[in-house]
Chain A
Amino acid sequence: MKKLLQEREAFLAIAIVLICIAASIAWPGVFPTFDNLSQVLLNLSIDAIVAVGMMLLLISGSFDLSVGSVVAFSGGITAYLLYYCGMYPLPAVLIGMSAAALVGFINGYLVAKAGINPMIQTLAMMGIIRGAALMISGSGIQNLPADFNVLGQSNFLGLQSPVWVMLLVVFSFDFLVSKNIFFRRYYYIGNNEKAAMLSGIKVQKLKITGFILASLLAGLAGILLASRLGASLGTSGKGMELRVITAAILGGASLSGGEGRIMGALLGTIFMAVISNIMIIARVSGYWQEMVLGLILILAVWIDIVLKDPRGLSLKARFTKLKTS
Chain B
Amino acid sequence: MIEQQTDISIEVRNITKTFPGVKALSDVNLSVAKGTVHALCGENGAGKSTLMKILTGNYQPDGGRIFINGKETVIKSQKHARDLGIGIVYQERSLVKNLSVAENIFTGNEPRNQLGFIKYRELFAKATVLLKKLNININPQVKVATLSPGLQQMVEIAKALSQQPRVLILDEPTASITETETKILFEIILQLKKQGTAIIYISHRMTEIFKICDVVSILKDGCYQGTYQCEEITIDDVIKKMVGREMKQIDVTSFIQNETAIEVRNASGNGFSNISFSARKGEIIGITGLVGAGRTELVRAIFGADELASGEVYLNGAAVSINHPSQAIKNGIAYLPEERKEQGLFMDMGIADNIISGNLSAVAKHNLLNKKLIKTAANSYVRQLAIKTPSVSTKVANLSGGNQQKVVLARWLALNPTVFIVDEPTHGVDIGAKYEIYQLLQNLAKTGSTIILISSELPEVLALSDRILLMYKGTITGCIPRLLASEELIMEYASGLKKDSAQMQQVA
Contact = CB atoms under 8 A, between A and B. Distances in A.
Interface of A: 179-182, 184-185, 187-188, 191-192, 194-202, 258-259, 310-312, 324-325
B185 to A, nearest CB: 29
B343 A194 contact: yes
A195 B345 contact: yes
B343 A191 contact: no
Give the most central of B328, B337, B346: most A CB within 10 Å: B346
Interface string B323-359: 0111011100001010000111111110001000111
Given A184-B360, A199-B325, A324-B76, 17 more contacts: A179-B369, A180-B369, A184-B369, A187-B349, A188-B349, A192-B345, A194-B343, A195-B344, A195-B345, A196-B357, A198-B303, A199-B358, A202-B326, A258-B348, A310-B398, A311-B19, A324-B77
Given A180-B367, A202-B324, A195 B360 contact: no
Nearest to B324: A202
Contact of B349 (A180, A191, A200): A191
B313 to A, nearest CB: 16
Nearest to A323: B77
A188 B346 contact: yes
Contacts of A192: 342-343, 345-347
Nearest to A187: B349
Contacts of B397: 310
Which 8 pairs show the lowest CB-CB distances between chains A and B? Answer: A200-B326, A324-B77, A181-B360, A191-B346, A200-B329, A312-B20, A179-B368, A200-B325
Contacts of B139: none
16 contacts: A179-B369, A181-B364, A181-B369, A192-B345, A192-B346, A192-B347, A195-B342, A195-B344, A198-B337, A199-B411, A200-B324, A200-B325, A200-B326, A200-B329, A259-B348, A325-B79
B305 interface: yes
B49 interface: no
Interface string B63-78: 0000000000000111
A181 B357 contact: no
Contact of B325 (A187, A197, A325): A197
Contacts of A311: 19
Nearest to B364: A181
A324 B345 contact: no
Nearest to B370: A179
B346 A198 contact: no
Contacts of A259: 348
A195 B343 contact: yes
Contacts of A194: 342-343
Contacts of B254: none
